[in-house]
Amino acid sequence: MRFTEFNFHPALLEGIEASNYETATPVQQQVIPPILAGKDIIASAQTGTGKTAAFLLPIIHRLLEEDTNGQVRALVIVPTRELAIQISQHLEGLAYFTSISSLAVYGGSDAQNFVGEKKALQMGADIIVCTPGRFIAHLNMGYVSIKGLEFLVLDEADRMLDMGFQDEINRIITQLPSKRQTLLFSATMPPKIRKLAQQILIDPVEINIAISRPPEKIVQRAFVVYEEQKLPLVKYLLTKTPFKSVLIFCSRKQNVKVLTRMLKQNGFTVEEMHSDLVQSQRENVLISFTSGRIPILVATDILSRGIDIDTIDLVINYDVPRDGEDYVHRIGRTARAEADGMAFTLVGEKEQNSFAAIEELIDKEVEKAVLPQFLGETPAWHPRKKSGNRKPQRKFYNRKPGRY
Ligand code: AMP
């Protein structure tokens, strides 16, 4: 599902485009419509699934529909300062072309920061991302107006309760208007979260994104490379790795076509599979592949779910999949039934953060393989901690963010 289908505000769509998001992740597909419809939600979704944008985007859109009221309009409460910083960077990126103002308020920072936060809170930033204790410290001083609050988000709620923030959360909530929309995100749903949900949510939509983990028997390896090393590496892997059937995934059909052509030119017996093929062509390609006549198939994620071919013993991700679920589904195409399988992922320089987010999601550090020497120098593995919320570049010099 593409983001244009949500009818988001044009300025928000610009931020989405600049963040390089094309299609919504499964969490986003499920969470965005009920938030836009004004519903409370309780969602079990882990980091790495795109859950941050899943709540930020509809909130920004809804806030843009009305004028600012000089008060805090949305409050996102999170357990740690790292998460507060990360979400607020994500927010700045997505809201870059809009007039929405935001502020991260977190503990552990110095007195000067506190003064800066105080000033911004007095002016009424639209969205505050905060850790509970620090926000209460400001609240107690009496200059924060939250009477006009429209959205409350509790992110990683299970972690907040584990860290003993229940009282702080209650104290904040008692000061909020009862007519508001509340969104609760939690990786797990223990009874104490259910109880909290009962207390603070009204007729919530429940969303459960269960993410499966890849089977242990799949040998996973990542190759950290420069983009231009990908093609020679794939050729090398196809030559040196013993396999019966290999499925190579690319995120874009354009890449599928180019890679297939290149491999054919290099003498490999290979076919392609993507949405530009008509049904009968797809069926023919699949028959050739399952029968073993074609040992190599290059495909988009059209093939990442559902197909059950026992003979695939190698999956190569030519690029890092969009989200953790796609990764699990892609590599799950190998090692079906009793067979063993291998999954190689080529991680380009710009894809390191996404791959690190996937590792976090599957709760496993994938071994980084050493490349053959003839490929030359490779980039160091240095993802930013957690996910990569790149701030988009400003597209137009001198352009003032504003409403449309
Ligand atoms: P989160 O689960 O919110 O921590 O997000 C994990 C990573 O996915 C972050 O690097 C996001 O910037 C990225 N992301 C979120 N939504 C999308 C999307 N629709 N397409 C591509 N990347 C996304």
- State the closest ligand 1 atom to the C-alpha of 361, by its place in the atom list counted from 1: 2
188, 208, 228 - which closes a domain:
208
Q: Residues 121-163: pLDDT tens digits? A: 888 889 999 999 999 999 999 999 888 899 999 999 988 998 8
| 403 found inside a domain | no
Q: Is residue 404 part of a domain?
A: no
Answer yes or no: do 41 and 185 share one domain: yes
Task: Please calculate the CA angle 112-116-121 and round it to the nearest 5 degrees.
Answer: 145
345 is a domain residue = yes
Residue 262: Cβ within 10 Å count: 15
Q: Choose which residue among 51, 86, 389 to substitute to test ligand 1 binding: the one with the highest number of ligand atoms within 8 A of its C-beta.
A: 389
Pick the more confident residue, 393 or 85: 85
CA of 360 to the centre of ligand 1 (A): 13
Ligand 1 atom closest to Cα of 49? Answer: 2
Within a domain: 153? yes
| Summary count for the chain: helices (H), strands (E) | 14, 14
Q: Are residues 232 and 349 in the same domain?
A: yes
3-state helix, strand, coil in the chain (%, to 5): 40, 15, 40
Indicate if the pLDDT at residue 393 is higher than 50. no
Structure confidence by residue, pLDDT tens digits, 25-66: 888 999 999 999 999 999 987 666 788 999 999 999 999 998
| Residue in the block written with tokens 């490999």 | 268
Give yes or no for a contact between 185 and 157, defined as CB atoms under 8 angstroms apart. yes
Q: What is the pLDDT of residues 306-356, one digit of tens each?
A: 566 778 899 999 999 977 778 888 888 887 656 678 999 999 999 999 999
Distance CA 208, CA 206 (A): 7
Whole-number Cα distances in Å, 155 to 30, 47, 160, 285, 331? 17, 10, 8, 45, 29
Report the alpha-carbon distance of residue 53 to residue 330 in Å, rounded: 23
Give domain status of residue 213, yes or no.
Answer: no
What local confidence, expressed as pLDDT, does residue 403 receive? 26
From the CB of 387, is ligand 1 less than 6 Å away? Answer: yes
pLDDT category at 395 given cuts 50, 70, 90 is very low
What is the span of the domain harbouring residue 285?
Answer: 218-398
Domain endpoint, select from 177, 208, 239: 208
Residue 73 lies in a domain: yes
Provide the domain count of the chain.
2
Q: What's the whole-number mean pLDDT along residues 186-208?
A: 90
The whole model's pTM is what? 0.61
Give the ligand 1 atom nearest the CA of 390.
12
Do 234 and 332 lie in one domain? The reply is yes
Q: Is 228 domain-assigned?
A: yes
CA distance 259 to 274: 13
Asked whether residue 142 falls in the same domain as residue 242, the answer is: no
265, part of any domain: yes
**Greater confidence, 201 or 323?**
201
Output the residue whose Cα is nearest ligand 1's atom 22: 21
pLDDT score at 399? 27
Same domain, 191 and 252: no
Nearest CA to ligand 1 atom 12: 389
Cβ-in-10-Å burial (0-12, 13-18, 19+) of 50 comes to: buried
> Taking residues 294-315, what's their average pLDDT?
82
Same domain for 340 and 193: no
Helix 132-141 × helix 166-174 angle, to 10°: 40
Nearest-CA residue for atom 13 of ligand 1: 50
- Asked if residue 189 and residue 92 are part of one domain, the reply reads yes
If asked whether residues 360 and 339 sit together in one domain, one would say yes
Q: 180 and 237: one domain?
A: no
Domain C-terminal end among 186, 208, 230: 208
Q: Are residues 145 and 240 in the same domain?
A: no
Q: Assess whether the C-beta atom of 27 lies below 6 angstroms from ligand 1.
A: no
Q: Let me know whether 190 and 229 are in one domain.
A: no
User: For ligand 1, is residue 98 a contact (CB within 6 Å)?
Assistant: no
| Domain at 267, CATH number | 3.40.50.300
Residue 250 pLDDT > 80, yes or no? Answer: yes
Residues 58 and 200 in one domain: yes
What separation in Å is there between the alpha carbon of 260 and the centre of ligand 1? 28
